[in-house]
Structure 1
Amino acid sequence: MSSDSHPLRRIAVPAFGPSLLFGIGEGAILPILPLTARDLGGSVSVAALMVALMGIGSLLSNLPASVLTMRFGERWAIVAASLWSALAMALCAWTGHLGVFAAGCFMVGMSQAVFNLARQAYLSEAVPVEWRARALSTLGGVSRIGLFIGPFASAAVVHQWGLAGAYGLGIAALLVAAAVAARIPDLAHHTLPGAGLSFASTLREHRHVFLTLGIGVMLVAAVRTSRSAVIPLWADHLGLSASVASLIYGLAGGIDMLLFYPAGRVMDLKGRRWVAVPSMLVMGTALLLMPLTQGPWTLLIAAMALGFGNGIGSGLIMTLGADHSPPGERARFLGVWRLMADLGSTCGPSLLSFLVAALSLGIGVAATGLLALAAAGVLGYWIPRVGRR
């Protein structure tokens, strides 16, 4: 098979390598951030806030990320994001001041926004539309693999060199990611009619997409983010040990990681609906059934079903964004698209927290399942029946 018949091979290492390394770097420090905050004198709530600052930094940087990508191009945006994140980790590792540590956490979130938008924009342009879903699903899958590897590698390093070793590992991974990204083949950019448009004009021009599929994407993001909290919370509710809860969560994550390429292939060959609707239906059903579980085995079945549903939806949000982003203003459109997804990611856990505090954990989990079913309905109605534009 020639490289032309399999276009992902030609750009596999420069396009997917930085994503794997960026994921490893992120994964290496995620379990360490709250511990560092506590070492610096922060309370438990302050430690949680430090982690939240990463999400806030990403949320607030989506639109600036699109401007940066349009100004300097995808390749150098990816390189800059990797270096910026490495600098942020260095601040986190070698500061004795909680305020500087908070700034470093926020900077990591900023780099996430730039990196994720630039790599999505690059693959949207570099890969033929017939291979788009496979490319973006692989991109999402590779990132998940990196996030999965990072904590294990970090644990070994921390055992030898302490918390600073985890940051050193993250910095090393990001510097290699920047070096690999610098070898990404340049895209042929042309001056297009949309080049001078503003965000307001992008919102006005594509308001129908943002108010239909965009709402569906917000619901998907809310469900996906809430799912990360649901499994350990329900395991704790059942009185399971932390080790059992971690094992269940890890097995669900393993199922999730195995499915990214088949999901992309189905989207390319059958259409986006064939993945979007089943993904949300499976996740919604698993979440609705989870409050009925009574022990580790039934929870494991529900958690693995949740992982399966999330896995077959790998790359869905990126693919839908790429499908509807016009070439002349792709980065600007994707900035708004990712902003909507991040808003969903922020609101989902907040809604879960409110329902748990006001009513009960079971009702909060079930309500998240209803959000997934609503997402299935919205996506099923508004995704075009043809798989690509």
Structure 2
Amino acid sequence: MSPAPHPLRRIAVPAFGPSLLFGIGEGAILPILPLTARDLGGSVSVAALMVALMGIGSLVSNLPASVFTMRFGERRAIVAAALWAALGLVLCAVTQHLGVFAAGCVMVGMSQAVFNLARQSYLSEAVPPEWRARALSTLGGVMRIGLFIGPFVSAAAVHAWGFVGAYGAGVVALLIAAAVAARIPDLEAHTLPGARLSFASTLREHRHVFVTLGIGVMLVAAVRASRQAVIPLWADHLGLAPSVASLIYGLAGGIDMLVFYPAGKVMDLKGRRWVAVPSMLVMGTALLLMPFTTGPWTLLIAAMAIGFGNGIGSGLVMTLGADHSPPGRRAHFLGVWRLMADLGSTCGPVLLSFVAVALTLGAGVAMTGLLALSGAAVLGYWIPRAGRH
């Protein structure tokens, strides 16, 4: 008999609802942050820095997030993260000082680290292993749906109330996310009895995983972060109108959101390799071919292939982290795991920019494709075969 679907139905609203709402809240303010910074007197470079501060806040908070989650538990960590992000948005909305605005952006980034780690840790424990990939793929997919919806909510709010409306919409979504997360059932235990945990011991005990699969995860994260810049940059290189570039980007995102659950099911039934390797191969091939596109239709095909490859990999990084994290002390492991992924996300666009400046944009796009193929090779070699987790 096939297993009943109750493991996901039982926790669907309290587990996935906050992720959808957090994504809507984040998506609502992402297009507004640089505009607000400019409105406060910041230059274009300063406005870009304000957005980057969110990523920096997340990067430096991964390890503290794991300590916080182990100390207070996943449910409280998720609620606290949503409330902290809402407070950061309030600061961004009411301040007239760039320094305070920057602090609000960092607070939102910090909350992302705590929220993402706690929800991953919770589902890793709450869902049976045979449903793990489906649960975490759905988690990643729901967050992407929220990020997709958020800008439309923001547009309506800005039209009615100006910039403050976008921040208000984000705060409301985050407060509802906190209220829904408060209904999550507590897990029985968060640490092994008597265990002396430290990041040094975590690195030592799991160094083989970090220097093998961890490298693959960094490559995956670098490619995913770079792809967000590649499509609009290449559209601009081709001389396409901004509206056409946005449409192509949106259609690629739509494909991305459609395939997360089937991919999770394949990972659960056939093994992680069956999704990890094709995901990176498809993205790598599409990125290598993108410099040969000459117009909107060929670029659309390449962009949708990238979206498909990224979509089937939804939840992959979280699933691999959950597979290898030790039960009872997952948070420390996942803190290091997410730190490695964030390092990849930070370094990928920087490397793309460096190669584009030193050589050409086409060379930078092709380099990103090679990173994807390298990721496919690393993951294909080091992911345990099905039945050997």
8 A Cα contact 2:121 2:331, kept in partner: yes
Match of 2:189 in 1: 189
Note closer, same or farther for the CA distance 1:159–1:323 as it changes in structure 2 (3 Å cut): same
| Unpaired segments ≥5 residues, structure 2 | none
Does 1:127 find its partner at 2:130?
no
Q: Cα 1:129–1:123, aligned 2, differ >3 Å: closer, same or farther?
A: same
Asked whether the 8 Å contact 1:192–1:328 carries over to 2, the reply is yes
Matched, 1:383 2:388: no
- Name the counterpart of 1:255: 255
Identity %: 86
TM-score (norm 1): 0.98
Change (3 A) 1:379 1:3: closer
Question: Deviations 1:273-322 (Å, cap 9, x if unpaired)?
Answer: 00000000000000000000000000000000000000000000000000
Instruction: Show CA shifts across 1:322-377 (max 9, x none).
Output: 00000132000000000000000000000000001111000000000000000000
2:240 paired with 1:246: no
| Residue 301 (structure 1) aligns with | 301
8 Å contact kept, 1:194–1:329: no
Shift of 1:5: 4.0
SS of the residue aligned with 2:183? Answer: coil
The answer for the alignment partner of 1:115 in structure 2 is 115
Aligned pairs (5 A) from 1:5-20: 5-20=5-20
**Partner SS state of residue 187, structure 1:** coil
**Which moved further from structure 2: 187-196 or 368-377?**
187-196
* Gap change, CA 1:354 and 1:157, over 3 Å in 2: same
Match of 1:236 in 2: 236
8 Å Cα contact 1:129/1:388 also seen in 2: no
8 Å CA contact 1:269, 1:387 repeated in 2: no
Q: Supply the distance in 1 between the matched residues of 2:141 and 2:330 (Cα, whole angstroms).
A: 22
Task: Say which SS state the counterpart of residue 195 (structure 2) adopts.
Answer: helix
2:264 and 2:136 map into 1 onto residues whose CA distance is 7
In the TM superposition, structure 1's runs of 4+ consecutive aligned residues that sit over 2 Å from their partners are 1-6
The normalised TM-score by structure 2 is: 0.98
The residue aligned with 1:142 is: 142
The one-letter code matched in structure 1 to 2:309 is G
Q: For 1:329 and 1:69, locate their aligned partners in 2 and report how far apart those are by CA, in whole Å.
A: 10
Amino acid at match of 2:279: S
Aligned equivalent of 1:323: 323
Q: CA deviation digits over 1:233-288, x for unaligned, max 9?
A: 00000000000000000000000000100010000000000000000000000000
CA deviation after TM superposition for structure 1 residue 388, in Å: 6.4
Q: Shift of residue 6 of structure 1? A: 2.7
User: For residues 138 and 237 of structure 2, what CA distance do their matches in structure 1 show?
Assistant: 35
1:224 aligns with 2:220: no
The count of aligned residue pairs is 389
Residues 263 and 313, structure 1, Cα contact 8 Å, conserved in 2:
yes
Shift of residue 217 of structure 1? 0.1
Secondary structure class of the residue paired with 2:384:
coil
Query: How many angstroms apart in 1 are the aligned matches of 2:331 and 2:72?
Result: 11
CA distance in 1, matches of 2:129, 2:16: 18
Please give the alpha-carbon distance, in whole angstroms, between the structure 2 residues aligned to 1:308 and 1:339.
26
Q: Is residue 271–residue 388 contact of structure 1 (8 Å, CA) maintained in 2?
A: no
Helix, strand or coil for the counterpart of 1:31? coil
Please give the alpha-carbon distance, in whole angstroms, between the structure 2 residues aligned to 1:385 and 1:360.
39
User: SS of 2:188's equivalent?
Assistant: coil
Which residue of the partner structure matches residue 40 of structure 1?
40
| Distance of 2:85 and 2:165 partners within structure 1 | 16
CA displacement at 1:186 relative to structure 2: 1.1
SS at match of 1:327: coil
The aligned counterpart of 1:198 is: 198
**Unaligned stretches of 5+ in structure 1?**
none
Q: Which residue number corresponds to residue 363 of structure 2?
A: 363
